[in-house]
Structure 1
Amino acid sequence: MNVGARVNLETCQPQTCNPDLLRKLNLLDMEALSAFMPMHLVVANDGRILRAGPTLLKLRPEGGLIGGMFFDVFEMRRPRGVTHIALLPVQDGGRFLVIFREGVRSHFKALAANLSCGRGVLVNLSFGISVVDAVEAYDLSSRDFAATDLAVEMLYLFEAKSAAMSESKMLNQRLQGAKVAAEEQAFTDTLTGLKNRRALGHVLDRFEATGVPFGLMQVDLDYFKQVNDRFGHAAGDEVLQVVARILVSETRDCDTVARVGGDEFVLVFQRLVDTEVLQTIAHRIISRLEEPVPYGGDACRISCSIGIATSVSHPGVGADSLLDEADKALYASKHAGRGRCMLANPDAGSAAGA
């Protein structure tokens, strides 16, 4: 069989097989047929595909349609058992369902009718309920369908829905990002970047509700007022930022460091209730905070006092009460001379030196 030139997809010119035979078939003008049925096939009585519309050719740019046998290219899904092209127009009113045997196995709803010359069958295909999947698989657009095809309306709806969903997704992402940023800001001390009192309350409430054991340190700076009085509040801010970095470096990622007042801090140690370990950490913090903090040409000198309590040493005591116990131990440290730490004593209601 003489095979004509391949289709030019940019100009949507149909590809043909045996032009002489096609002229004898007395079909509609080729350009008009392609415009009204861009997914049509002309199939000879022996099952050979003689002609295909531009959209169908776009689905098989590597060839294989023109000159191929219909039942080699397509697999019948409904009605079953049809193996001859002449049966397509007479079965179920010419309606049938096929899929490609190779490549993307798109479903096609089709309608077949005999040509008046009796020398073949005209088949018109559409994507039916699979239009969205097929459009995505083959990168089709409204230009690949007849203007009156309902598939065009489906494409418009699909594109509008996709655009709306995409915009909604981006909006939700922006809102979620803004929410996270707002929550983070609400729980963060702006000067030091540490957690604030509100964030501390959430952590302690969670540990209390879930029964997670934890250790507490109340930390209060010594001689901080003298720094502000002598060098000004800018120097005090610098000192607070240095203190924050030291406290964070002496804790783990799972621990919480919060600034709860001007020069007051609370450290929460998740599942760390060994008082000897906590005292070691406290002594290390005190030692590091006693190192001078350079400011301009001067040196700011501070220290700190620390009170320690644990949820294990005070069973049945709520988080607020445990904070009070650690606070009592803190002030016992100050009264004992500052620059030291004390353990809360659950029995005597006082503090034990460390």
Structure 2
Amino acid sequence: MTVLDRAARDTLMPMHVLADPDGRILSTGPTLARIAGEMQLAGRDLLSVLPVSRPAGIVSAADLRAASGRLLWLRLGLGGPELRGVVVETGEGGMLLDLALSLPALSGIDALGLSADDFAPTDRTPDTLYLLEAKSLLSSEAARLIARIEDARVTAEAQAGTDPLTSLRNRRGLDAVLARLREGAAPFAVTMLDLDGFKAVNDRLGHAAGDALLVETASRLLGVTRGDDIVARTGGDEFVVVFPDLAARDTLADIAARIIAALELPVVLGDDRARISASLGTALSTDYVLPDPARMIADADRALYAAKEGGRARHVFHTPRHGRSARKPVEGPDG
């Protein structure tokens, strides 16, 4: 066959290889030369720089001529891009090999420094590149969307378990904490806390002042408890403190005393000052064969009411003598 001149070959087959009858490279297209970079191609044995992996057994120029018209799979150098190609014989006994990047090689085309201008006008490689880029963009956008959905889910779950006024955990958040502790082997304690005197402040100064007092109470509770302790507001002026890895009565009594002392400090509410205190009741997981959070909360609640009945501003540990029929006393004018 008559071989096209160099300009025509470079335009129509920018990744071609022209070889002599012995398989030695005479010239290459501009795109293949760009991919090869500093690798010298002209003058070298074609199969030494472009070994054929499929079909198997092509190891000589004669083998390559015998494969004329068949689809070949080759690789440029050691670890280079995978290529597809078709070889035909030329009239001078040489060979003309037309190459194209394989689909796997297209994913790394940025590293090869190629653009649409490096391919023949009829080559569909640029179209494939656009599709791959679109797929990459869609995958990235999908990943970002999934991340946003996950962030929204986490935020929604956090908000569902958070008291909007104090930013403490609410009853739902508290239940989740207690469920985890129940499954563990470490001891823990649950302390119920009810403010003494809150109703009088709320009635005298209004609900806005009452809300500010609850926010200050939450801040003080966080300030006197340990970093790993969990403080929750379960409703009204009722709070719960959970103490992971702690069931020592003396330590818990000390913390309860600090809580009462902190809450008895005056609170500035606008132009007014308010004073409150708190009554506390505590249940220990070590007092149960199988700790049940619901029962522990109920027992801590009974101990709390015993503290109120004993004079308020006190802390009481639950004991069986507190019984199962304790009821919250009716608050007087001082709460």
CA contact (8 A) 2:197 2:276 kept: yes
Where does residue 107 of structure 2 map in the other structure? 133
* One-letter amino acid matched to 2:86: L
* Matching residue within 91, 116, 119 for 1:116: 91
* Matching residue within 194, 200, 210 for 1:220: 194
* Residue-pair matches, total: 325
Where does residue 245 of structure 2 map in the other structure? 271
Q: 1 CA distance for matches of 2:108 and 2:13?
A: 17
Q: 2 CA distance for matches of 1:263 and 1:29?
A: 93
For residues 219-239 of structure 1, the C-alpha deviation after alignment (integer angstroms, 9 at most, x for no partner) is 111112232233333332222
Q: 2 CA distance for matches of 1:134 and 1:140?
A: 10
Cα offset for 1:288?
1.2
TM-score by length of 1: 0.81
Local SS of the residue matching 1:269: strand
Identity level (%): 41
Local SS of the residue matching 2:194: strand
CA contact (8 A) 1:220 1:264 kept: yes
Given the alignment of the two structures, is residue 295 of structure 1 paired with residue 253 of structure 2, yes or no?
A: no
Where does residue 106 of structure 1 map in the other structure? 81
Local SS of the residue matching 2:156: helix
* Matching residue within 66, 70, 74 for 2:46: 70
Cα offset for 1:129?
4.1
* One-letter amino acid matched to 1:57: A
Q: 2 CA distance for matches of 1:345 and 1:331?
A: 12
263-272 vs 109-118, greater mean Cα deviation: 109-118
Q: Quick one: structure 1 residues 114 and 349, their matched pair in 2 at CA, closer, same or farther if it must change by over 3 Å?
A: same
Where does residue 188 of structure 1 map in the other structure? 162
* Matching residue within 126, 133, 140 for 1:159: 133
Q: Quick one: structure 1 residues 181 and 33, their matched pair in 2 at CA, closer, same or farther if it must change by over 3 Å?
A: same
For residues 135-160 of structure 1, the C-alpha deviation after alignment (integer angstroms, 9 at most, x for no partner) is 25425444433344454454343233
173-182 vs 211-220, greater mean Cα deviation: 211-220
Cα offset for 1:40?
0.9
CA contact (8 A) 1:215 1:272 kept: yes
CA contact (8 A) 2:281 2:317 kept: yes
For residues 266-324 of structure 1, the C-alpha deviation after alignment (integer angstroms, 9 at most, x for no partner) is 11112312222111111111111111223334432221111010121133452212111
* One-letter amino acid matched to 1:178: A
Cα offset for 1:336?
1.6
Where does residue 35 of structure 2 map in the other structure? 59
Given the alignment of the two structures, is residue 34 of structure 1 paired with residue 7 of structure 2, yes or no?
A: no
Cα offset for 1:89?
2.0
* One-letter amino acid matched to 2:85: A
* One-letter amino acid matched to 2:138: A
Q: Quick one: structure 1 residues 258 and 348, their matched pair in 2 at CA, closer, same or farther if it must change by over 3 Å?
A: closer
For residues 134-189 of structure 1, the C-alpha deviation after alignment (integer angstroms, 9 at most, x for no partner) is 42542544443334445445434323322222221111111111111111111111
Q: Which residues of structure 2 form unaligned runs of 5+? A: 327-335
134-143 vs 170-179, greater mean Cα deviation: 134-143
CA contact (8 A) 2:182 2:291 kept: no
Where does residue 340 of structure 1 map in the other structure? 314
Q: Quick one: structure 1 residues 261 and 288, their matched pair in 2 at CA, closer, same or farther if it must change by over 3 Å?
A: same
Cα offset for 1:245?
1.9
Q: Quick one: structure 1 residues 346 and 211, their matched pair in 2 at CA, closer, same or farther if it must change by over 3 Å?
A: farther
For residues 105-125 of structure 1, the C-alpha deviation after alignment (integer angstroms, 9 at most, x for no partner) is 22222222222233x321111
For residues 46-84 of structure 1, the C-alpha deviation after alignment (integer angstroms, 9 at most, x for no partner) is 544332223212213335234544344334434556554
Q: 1 CA distance for matches of 2:10 and 2:201?
A: 88
TM-score by length of 2: 0.85
* Matching residue within 209, 216, 234 for 2:208: 234
CA contact (8 A) 1:255 1:268 kept: yes
* Matching residue within 297, 303, 307 for 1:323: 297
Where does residue 14 of structure 1 map in the other structure? none
Q: Quick one: structure 1 residues 134 and 110, their matched pair in 2 at CA, closer, same or farther if it must change by over 3 Å?
A: farther
**RMSD of aligned residue pairs (Cα, Å):** 2.8
Q: Which residues of structure 1 form unaligned runs of 5+? A: 1-24
Q: 2 CA distance for matches of 1:49 and 1:248?
A: 79
Local SS of the residue matching 1:89: helix
